[in-house]
Copies of this chain bind each other. A is one copy, B any other.
Amino acid sequence: MKFTCTQENLNKALNVVGKIINKNSTLPILNNVLIKTEKGRLKLSSTNLEIGISYLIGGKVESEGEITVPTKLFHNFISNLPIGNVEIKLREDVLSLKCNSYKTSIKGLDAKEYPLTPKLDVKPIFKINSFVFKKALSQIIPAISNSESRVEITGVFMDLSNLNKNTITLVATDSYRLAEIYVNINNENINNDYKNILGNTVSVIMPKETIQELVRNLDDIEDDVEVVISESQILFSFGNANIISRLIEGKYPDYKQIIPTEFKTILQVDKRDIIKATKVTSLFSNIFNNSIELKLLAGSKNLEINSESSDLGSNNTKIAVEIEGNDKNISMSYNYKFLIDGLNSLSGDKVVLKINDDSSPMVLTSDVDKYYKYIIMPTRA
C-alpha cells in the first residue's frame, strides 16, 4: 500500500471512526482501526461488533493494501502531526508515515484478522436533513432507558407506519418519562418503493449507542442522511461516513395509551424561571425518589415549586404562570431530574405544562416544538 492524503482529512476520519468503545476484551483487534485502499480512496473502519463506522478519505493511491493499527495510538499520532501531506506506506506489518520532518513507523496487525462489517444490500428508505434529524434525536436521547432487564426500551423506536403521510415518529422512554417527536420528510426524499423494501417491517428499535454515535457525527454535516433498513440492521450514510448497526429485537411497548389527550389545566411559563426554580428546589428533594412538589392554588397566578428534607431544610419558590382552567388546588410530585431533562429538551423561551391531576402524567411542550412532546409520570409523594 502507498497512499498520500492530508493530515486534516486523516484526522477528520479518525474523529469519526476512532471513538467506538470496544466492550469485547476477548478480541483485542477491535481496539484497532482498519485502513484499506478502496476505489482510489482510503477507507478507515472500526467496529465493536454492534456498530460499524467507516469513513472514506480522498487522496492519491499508488498501490493497494490493507492493515489494522491501534486506534488510540494512531488517532493521538495523527492529531498531533503538523498540517500537511501525509505519505503512508505499508511494508509487511509496519505502517510507515512521513509528514514534513516526521518519520514514523507503527506496528500493525493483519487486516485478515479484522471482523467483517456486514453490508446492507438494500435500497435506502428515505433521506433526511441532517440538522433536523440531529435535533429530533438529541431531544429524545435523555429519555432512553439504561435498563438491562428491558432491552426493548434501551433504544429509540422509529415508527415508519406513517411514511405514506411523509412522517416518521421517533420515541424514547424509560417508563418514568417518554419523549415523542414527529419528523416530516419531503416526499421526494422517500423511496417510492419503500413498502416492498420494508416488507413486514413497520418499525425498528435503534440502540442508544448507535444514536449517540450518529448524533455526535452529525455536527457540521450539511448533507442529508440516507437511511437503509433491513430486518436486523440499519445503515446511516452521510458525507464520507457510514454508520451500520444491529437493531434491537423485541416489541416496543404500546406507549400511545399513556399519553393523555385531554387536560384540565394548561400552564405557560418562562423556561429559564422554571429550570432555575427546579434546580434550587432539587437541593431539598426527597432522597429516595428525587421528588419535588408542583403546586397550583385555585385562582392563583403562580406555580409553587416546593421541597422539604428533614435533614437539610426546605425551599418554596413561586413563579409566574399563564393559566387556563385552574379551578381547584392541585399538588403533584415529580422526579426533578426527569423534569429538568424534559424542560431542557424543549426549544424556545416558554414551555407549556399540560396537567390533569396528581396521579396523571404531565405533558411538556413548547410552541416552537409543535411536533414534540415530553411526558413525565408523577411520583408517589
A contact set with B: CB distance below 8 Å: 70, 73, 76-77, 80-82, 94-95, 101-107, 276-277, 279-280, 283-284, 302, 311-319
Q: Which residues of B contact A315 (CB under 8 A)?
A: 102-105
Q: Which residues of B contact A101 (CB under 8 A)?
A: 302, 317-319
Give complex CA distance A80, B315 in Å: 13
Q: Point out the residue from B95, B280, B312 that lies within 8 Å of A102, measured CB to CB.
A: B280
Copies in the complex: 2
Q: Which residues of B contact A103 (CB under 8 A)?
A: 315-317
Q: How far in angstroms is the closest Cβ of chain B from A166?
A: 43
25 contacts between A and B (CB under 8 A): A70-B312, A73-B283, A73-B312, A76-B283, A77-B283, A80-B279, A80-B280, A80-B283, A81-B276, A81-B280, A82-B276, A94-B313, A95-B313, A101-B302, A101-B317, A102-B277, A102-B280, A102-B316, A103-B315, A104-B315, A104-B316, A105-B313, A106-B312, A107-B312, A107-B313
Of all chain B residues, the one with the shortest Cβ separation from A107 is B313
Q: How far in angstroms is the closest Cβ of chain B from A208?
A: 29
B102 touches A317 (CB 8 A): yes
Give complex CA distance A82, B277 in Å: 9
Q: Which residues of B contact A95 (CB under 8 A)?
A: 313
A276 touches B105 (CB 8 A): no
Give complex CA distance A312, B103 in Å: 14
Give complex CA distance A7, B327 in Å: 36
Of all chain B residues, the one with the shortest Cβ separation from A318 is B101
12 additional contacts, CB 8 Å, given A80-B283, A102-B316, A102-B317?
A: A76-B283, A80-B276, A80-B279, A81-B280, A82-B276, A101-B318, A103-B315, A103-B316, A104-B284, A104-B313, A105-B313, A107-B312
Of all chain B residues, the one with the shortest Cβ separation from A105 is B313
Closest 6 pairs between A and B when the two form their complex, measured CB to CB: A106-B313, A101-B318, A105-B313, A104-B315, A103-B316, A80-B279
Q: Which residues of B contact A318 (CB under 8 A)?
A: 101
Q: Which residues of B contact A279 (CB under 8 A)?
A: 80
Give complex CA distance A203, B319 in Å: 58
Give complex CA distance A228, B104 in Å: 54
Give complex CA distance A77, B77 in Å: 44
Of all chain B residues, the one with the shortest Cβ separation from A69 is B313
Q: How far in angstroms is the closest Cβ of chain B from A98?
A: 10
Of all chain B residues, the one with the shortest Cβ separation from A320 is B101
Q: Which residues of B contact A283 (CB under 8 A)?
A: 73, 76-77, 80
Give complex CA distance A315, B76 in Å: 13
B280 touches A77 (CB 8 A): yes
Of all chain B residues, the one with the shortest Cβ separation from A108 is B313
Q: Which residues of B contact A277 (CB under 8 A)?
A: 102
Of all chain B residues, the one with the shortest Cβ separation from A304 is B101
Give complex CA distance A95, B284 in Å: 14
Q: How far in angstroms is the closest Cβ of chain B from A238?
A: 31
Of all chain B residues, the one with the shortest Cβ separation from A277 is B102
Give complex CA distance A37, B104 in Å: 65
Of all chain B residues, the one with the shortest Cβ separation from A94 is B313
B73 touches A107 (CB 8 A): no
Q: How far in angstroms is the closest Cβ of chain B from A225?
A: 34
A107 touches B280 (CB 8 A): no
Q: Which residues of B contact A70 (CB under 8 A)?
A: 312
Give complex CA distance A105, B317 in Å: 12
Q: Which residues of B contact A314 (CB under 8 A)?
A: 104-105
Give complex CA distance A314, B106 in Å: 7
